[in-house]
Amino acid sequence: MGILTDPSLSSNDGGIVKVLAQHKKKICFLLYIASLGWFCCLGMSDFNHSAYLSENALSPGLVYTEITRDSEKLAQQYHTEFLHERENHKGTPIPWILAKMKQIGLETHTHNYTLNYPFGGGKVFTGTNIYGILRAPRIGSTEGIVYSAPFRPKDSLEADISASIPILLAFAESARRKNYWAKDFIFLVTDNEQLGIQAWLEAYHLGGLQNDQGILNSGSLPARAGALQAALNLEIQGMELDYINVKVEGLNGGLPNLDYFNLVQRITAKERISAGYKQTAGKMKYTTHSTKIEDNLKHILSMILTQANCVPTGNHGLFHQYRIEALTLQGIKAKSSHQRAGVLSVLKSIEGISRSLNNLLEKFHQSFFFYILVHNDRFISIGDYMPCAILFVAVFFIKSFLMWHDLNKKVDKWNDDIYDKKCEGEVLEIHYMQSIVAFACAIGLGLSLNFVCKNGAVSEFFAVKFGFTTENTVAIVILCFVLVGLIFPFLFKFDELELKVLQIGSQIFVGCVLLTVSLLNFSLGFLLGIFLTPLGIFNEVGQNKVMKYLNSLYIILCHPVLVIYYFAVAITEQNFDNLAFKDFIEKVFMAFSNIATYGVVDNLIYGNWMFSITTLALFPAWILYFSANLRDWALSGSSRKVKVE
């Protein structure tokens, strides 16, 4: 507690501050390296933990599964019928599914929703979800579990998952005959991929009363089953499976409770199905001891890359926003005749998972909600990975503290000189006004970009006047704003002190954004940190020229739009080989505008943060850094007013 009374901190030339100020570059660089180093260490078994179940109520595999060969036969029969129906029926075979659910004895309902596409002149899409509720005998409909299976038409670009609905129905049929269920089961068939499930969840939890009725009009549901405790999404590709891939990443990088993932691991292991996170054909289960750090790091990185783009990997991902634990079982069809898992073992796994979930007295609250999977049975908890983000963020705060300290010292010294030594000159004061205005303008620019992109009227205007497509409009709007951002620094004239204040502000802003993002979605925060931290390290007024050049170059390369552009190039490169340069540029532009438009649409319909973070945080931050850098050049060019003596 000496820290409170230690005069070295409050005085100007204190020990710690002095050391920090002397070696700030080194220290900041060291922090950056330390963060990366810590991240690499996460692959070592000392830095991660082996999986365990916290919630005792789950007790996986405690009961004998009761599902029989009859259910398997039924599933096969349903499958044949389903394929036939899908062949003859355009869209979801609603009557067939309804009939089957009714026969089983479920309470069946349909849910219609409408999407008024925000762009492109008011296109309207409609869809229908079908659901059947198995009312649990032991409860008064206060709690429920959702089993969902998306319907995919035959001509879908995605993998065929025709076995999902038959397996769902076969499980419903067997569950109907049991009297021990203590949570209502909702068997849900959705269409239009993630749109269907989003509409259904909105209807369930918001009941058509939300203010923003304009875009996704989800309405309300005719029947409900109380508070939803968990959800299981099935994407089963065929009746004979090779392995099961468990998908966890949800919207904005949300993850299901680790207990749920572990439960699925245990149950599938018991049923002798090869299953796991990012499972591949060759991967074996439980091989931790032989895995090397490189393999672990690769696994971690692949999870980070998936999680960082904020897009759910399956229908489960949209449940997380309502705090319903959910994941997807993606059954991969066996390619060879050597089949590893049949329908019966899948059904048994589903039954095992259900019975464990049925045991839950409290909703998932133990174990971890923030984690990174190193392996199917090893994970890194939030406490272990957060140091990476903290070290990144520390750079910004240390730098801004030192700048602030420096600034005050300079001003005090100057003023003291005037008073004590009767030097000539005016009293030096820090003018905050212009910096604050600049800061506010940058944020305002971001806000207006956000608003203009999301506003359907703008795209309508362009579409009507110039015949642009939505994608082109969005791209053009973004480019316009980028141009404004480039002109931005020339609108203000800062002196050195104001520039410093601006820099301090932007450092703190980026630090806060980084900290928040990495708490909520570590993967995104970490990736941003890798790119943004060097900005924080090098950003300083009055450096030598080489550093300044490097800094400018880095700032320009780091422009958010350019970063999206790199991705577009990478995607185009990957998808099309041997394109002529002109075609290539065209394709890249298309890819870029597609990425931007998807960002906007995802933000509008699903509430994806990516677009908001880019427009409201990254874009203004870039403008601020760019301005500071550019004005710094201008200042060093002209004679410095402040340096009189």
Residues making contact with another protein (CB under 8 A):
1-2, 4-5, 7, 99, 102-103, 105, 107, 135, 137-143, 176-179, 205-207, 209, 223-224, 226-227, 321-323, 361-363, 365
Give residues with Cβ within 8 angstroms of 12, minimum separation 6.
409, 412
The first and second tokens of residue 506, run together, are: 């932007």
The residue (of 362 and 426) whose beta carbon lies closer to another protein is 362
In the complex, what is the shortest distance from the CB of residue 137 to another protein, in angstroms, rounded to a whole number? 4
- Whether 358 and 180 have beta carbons less than 8 Å apart is answered as yes
Residue with tokens 């049975």: 377
Closest CA to 216 of 315, 316, 111, 311: 111
d(CA 644, CA 641): 7
State the DSSP code for 341. Answer: B
The residue (of 33 and 99) whose beta carbon lies closer to another protein is 99
In the complex, what is the shortest distance from the CB of residue 4 to another protein, in angstroms, rounded to a whole number? 5
Determine how many CB atoms are found less than 10 A away from the CB of residue 297.
17
Maximum alpha-carbon separation in the chain: 100
The residue (of 45 and 612) whose beta carbon lies closer to another protein is 612
The residue (of 239 and 605) whose beta carbon lies closer to another protein is 605
In the complex, what is the shortest distance from the CB of residue 363 to another protein, in angstroms, rounded to a whole number? 6
The residue (of 7 and 637) whose beta carbon lies closer to another protein is 7
* Long-range contacts of the stretch 443-446 (C-beta < 8 A, 24+): 443/616, 443/620, 445/481, 445/484, 445/485, 445/488, 445/619, 445/620, 445/623, 446/615, 446/616, 446/617, 446/619, 446/620
d(CA 546, CA 541): 13
In the complex, what is the shortest distance from the CB of residue 194 to another protein, in angstroms, rounded to a whole number? 17
DSSP for 392-426 reads HHHHHHHHHHHHHHHHHHHHHHHHHHHHHS--SSP
> 416, exposed or middle or buried, with CB in 10 Å at 0-12, 13-18, 19+?
exposed
- The strands making up 49-50's β-sheet, listed across from edge to edge, are 49-50, 378-381, 371-375
The residue (of 137 and 542) whose beta carbon lies closer to another protein is 137
In the complex, what is the shortest distance from the CB of residue 473 to another protein, in angstroms, rounded to a whole number? 31
In the complex, what is the shortest distance from the CB of residue 136 to another protein, in angstroms, rounded to a whole number? 9
- The strands making up 107-116's β-sheet, listed across from edge to edge, are 216-217, 107-116, 124-134, 184-190, 143-150, 227-236, 325-333, 241-247, 275-277
The residue (of 73 and 493) whose beta carbon lies closer to another protein is 73
The residue (of 317 and 489) whose beta carbon lies closer to another protein is 317
In the complex, what is the shortest distance from the CB of residue 219 to another protein, in angstroms, rounded to a whole number? 12
Question: Strands (DSSP E) along 69-183, which ranges?
Answer: 107-116, 124-134, 143-150
Which residue type sits at 523?
S
The residue (of 312 and 505) whose beta carbon lies closer to another protein is 312
The residue (of 84 and 365) whose beta carbon lies closer to another protein is 365
DSSP for 518-547 reads HHH-HHHHHHHHHHHHHHHHH--TT--HHH
Torsion of CA 605, 606, 607, 609, to 10 degrees: -120
Strands 124-134 and 184-190: antiparallel
In the complex, what is the shortest distance from the CB of residue 140 to another protein, in angstroms, rounded to a whole number? 4
- Whether 430 and 409 have beta carbons less than 8 Å apart is answered as no
The residue (of 180 and 286) whose beta carbon lies closer to another protein is 180
The residue (of 179 and 337) whose beta carbon lies closer to another protein is 179
In the complex, what is the shortest distance from the CB of residue 205 to another protein, in angstroms, rounded to a whole number? 6
Give residues with Cβ within 8 angstroms of 73, minimum separation 6.
none
In the complex, what is the shortest distance from the CB of residue 180 to another protein, in angstroms, rounded to a whole number? 10
In the complex, what is the shortest distance from the CB of residue 322 to another protein, in angstroms, rounded to a whole number? 6
In the complex, what is the shortest distance from the CB of residue 635 to another protein, in angstroms, rounded to a whole number? 36
d(CA 580, CA 561): 24
d(CA 264, CA 325): 12
The residue (of 206 and 428) whose beta carbon lies closer to another protein is 206
Q: What angle do CA 489, 537, 558 make, to 5 degrees?
A: 55
Helix (H, G, I), strand (E, B) or coil at 272: coil
In the complex, what is the shortest distance from the CB of residue 609 to another protein, in angstroms, rounded to a whole number? 15
d(CA 330, CA 279): 10
CA-to-CA separations, 121 to 6, 124, 471, 573, in angstroms, rounded: 67, 9, 13, 32
Closest CA to 232 of 75, 349, 119: 349
CA-to-CA separations, 159 to 233, 265, 286, 333, in angstroms, rounded: 15, 23, 28, 10
In the complex, what is the shortest distance from the CB of residue 214 to another protein, in angstroms, rounded to a whole number? 16
Closest CA to 405 of 5, 10, 1, 99: 10
- Whether 405 and 17 have beta carbons less than 8 Å apart is answered as yes
Determine how many CB atoms are found less than 10 A away from the CB of residue 508.
17
The residue (of 48 and 65) whose beta carbon lies closer to another protein is 65
In the complex, what is the shortest distance from the CB of residue 79 to another protein, in angstroms, rounded to a whole number? 21
In the complex, what is the shortest distance from the CB of residue 58 to another protein, in angstroms, rounded to a whole number? 14
